[in-house]
Amino acid sequence: MGAFLPSASSGMKLRERFVAFRNRLIASRRFQRFALAFPLTRPIAHNKALALFDLCAGFVYSQVLLASVRLDLFRILSDGPLTVDGLAERLSLSPAATARLMRATAALKLTEQMGKDCYALGELGAALLGNPGVAEMVEHHAVLYGDLTDPLAVLRGRKDHTALARFWGYGHGDAAGAETGGTSDYSALMAASQPPVIEDVLAAYRFDRHRHLLDIGGGHGAFAIAVAEAVPDLHVALFDLPSVAEEAESRFAKAGLEDRCNAVGGDFFRDPFPADADIIAFIRVCYDHDDKTVAKLFKKAHAALTPGGTVLIAETMASADATDPIADTYFNIYLLAMGGGRPRTSVAFSKLLEQAGFLNIRTVPSKRAFMTRIITAEKSR
């Protein structure tokens, strides 16, 4: 019976032949004209052409969004619709420029046209208002776009550091720069973009089964504070560079949590992790680093955990077959420009965790898996 089953290699060859045939067909101008004219293929051809144009025009779309954020357009419209003339006065733009901006934002569903010369807040603009971290990232992307003006230099690994690498230097072991005040912009951006991740992790995982959480690279304590407030009996420790830990301690005190939360200063690249935690969390930490570094971090976590303890990883993860634009395109290139790290698949994480000695590795479902996936593993008893 087995002799009649196609092998994996023969199946791959069939797929390769099909893909080659499909691509020759799509590349043919004659076929393109036919597809756009024939009623059954016209919608497909139209959508494919539009998708290709969107790739070409993506930078313009992003700059329309950046201009809107810098002009505070969405907050201005949150009080109700305004005419182009009224908006021009509020935005300090000419009526002609305002009209162009508003048509552009309406086409992107950031605003909504309400008559000939009147605009209201659109669905995407309203969603952005409800998530201030998005606006922070939009502003931050000016740094990324500057580096990507020469994408080949980034792909070829140019020797001089990109502006993005300098921005995130603290996260890559530049302890000297961090200790002289180089963490403020980094920590502010992390704090602004962290809330959705924190919400998803708290909704997906029960921390009340633990007694002592250690948050690795926890910054100024946004995640630590959220967990401590959600789980009243949990002791929470944060481990980060001394200057960052000092700021976290101050925030714990302001939140009235100094009796259950503490911050330990140290360098997780060089120092052992504080011991006695029964759960260690890496929240958006691993994808900043290469496999060698992550393997060391997992081994340190394994050594620091109590017997039977848990390690939890939460971050954007790559798809198995390179089909996720957020992880496989955006984060993949962003992290390359940043100078290190990559989004990993759950399989890649499993291998690193197994090498560190962890067992019972599993994926925990999360509400927004396109942004945050969660993996847990256990230390043997």
pLDDT of residue 1: 46
Structural contact between residues 315 and 283, judged by C-beta atoms closer than 8 angstroms:
yes
Lowest mean pLDDT among 25-29, 90-94, 221-225, 269-273: 25-29
Return the pLDDT at 178: 44
For residue 373 the two structure tokens come to 């996936």
Could you tell me which of 285, 124, 128, 241 has the C-alpha nearest to residue 192? 128
Tell me what pLDDT residue 22 has. Answer: 83
**Is the pLDDT assigned to residue 175 strictly greater than 60?**
no
* Selected residue with higher pLDDT from 273 and 4: 273
Contact 283, 297 (CB under 8 A): no
Q: How far is the C-alpha of 87 from the C-alpha of 176, rounded, in Å? A: 47
Q: How confident is the model at residue 8 (pLDDT cuts 50, 70, 90)?
A: low
Q: What is the pLDDT of residue 181?
A: 43
Domains of the chain: 42-128 (1.10.10.10), 163-378 (3.40.50.150)
For the chain, the average pLDDT equals 89
| Residue pLDDT, tens place only, 311-366 | 999 999 998 888 888 899 998 998 888 887 899 999 999 999 999 999 999 999 99
pLDDT at 191: 64
Average pLDDT over residues 3-30: 76
pLDDT given at position 171: 54
Q: What percent of the residues of the chain are helix, what percent strand, and what percent coil, each to the nearest 5?
A: 55, 15, 30
pLDDT tens, residue by residue, 113-158: 998 899 999 999 999 998 888 888 898 888 888 888 889 988 887 6
How far is residue 51's CA from residue 45's CA, in Å, rounded to a whole number? 10
Task: Give the model's pLDDT for residue 134.
Answer: 86
Measure the CA–CA gap between 74 and 205, rounded to whole angstroms.
Answer: 34
339 touches 170 (CB < 8 A): no
Q: What percent of the chain stands above pLDDT 90?
A: 59
Query: Can you tell me the mean pLDDT for 72-82?
Result: 96
Per the structure block, which two tokens stand in for 354?
């197994």
Please report the pLDDT score of residue 192 as a whole number: 66
Q: Tell me 33's DSSP state.
A: H
DSSP annotation of 6 reads P
Angle between the N-to-C axes of helices 132-147 and 184-193, in degrees from 0 to 180, rounded to the nearest 10: 130
**Looking at residue 188, what is its pLDDT?**
63
Nearest to 259 by CA among 249, 269, 268: 249
3-state secondary structure of 279: strand
The C-alpha R_g of the chain, in whole angstroms, comes to 25
Task: Please state which of the ranges 192-206, 212-226, 269-283 shows the lowest mean pLDDT.
Answer: 192-206
Sheet arrangement for strand 118-121: 82-83, 118-121, 111-113
- pLDDT for 177 equals 45
What does the pLDDT read at residue 179?
42
Q: Average the pLDDT over 220-240 and give the result.
A: 96
* Residue 309 near residue 379, CB atoms below 8 Å: yes
pLDDT digits (tens, 9 = 90+) for 193-203: 788 899 999 99
Question: How much is the average pLDDT of 11-29?
Answer: 83
293 has a pLDDT exceeding 90 = yes
How many CB atoms are closer than 10 A to CB 110? 26
Task: State how far the Cα of 102 lies from the Cα of 70, in Å rounded to an integer.
Answer: 14
- pLDDT for res 153: 87
Comparing CA positions, the residue from 142, 140, 138 lying closest to residue 124 is: 138
3-state secondary structure (DSSP) of residue 82: strand
